[in-house]
Amino acid sequence: MSNDTDDVFDRAADAIWVCSWPAAALWGLSIIGFQIYHWLRYGSWQEIPVATAFHYFGFQLTAVYEPKSWIGVARITEWFLSWPLSLAGALLVLWVAWMIRNAVRGQ
């Protein structure tokens, strides 16, 4: 019985992994598509960094941009927050799927 359950979870983890690739591509292309639309309509490129998503959900990032301590950690975080959301979101989708797959397989 345990073998059948393990096999189902293993196949589900593989399915998540396989589906994550088109999901990541769709995520990235949809953001880039919006940026192209904005450029075609208004003539200016709309940059969408990761920080935009954090601002959208109401996170305060003053500790990152005006740190009182842990300056190095703040600079690394600021560097990550400047990444394009299209790339970071796609990589996040793939990373989560990879983590699920490895957790199910016990690796």
| pLDDT value at 19 more than 70 | yes
Q: What would the pLDDT profile of 41-84 be if each residue is shown by its tens digit? A: 999 999 999 999 999 999 999 999 999 999 999 999 999 999 99
Backbone phi and psi for residue 49, each to the nearest 5 degrees, phi listed first = -80, 170
Cβ-based neighbours of 7, under 8 Å, separated by 6 or more: none
Residue range 80-101: mean pLDDT, rounded: 94
Cβ-based neighbours of 71, under 8 Å, separated by 6 or more: none
How many structural domains comprise the chain?
A: 1
* Residue in the block written with tokens 């073998």: 3
Range of the domain at 99: 2-105
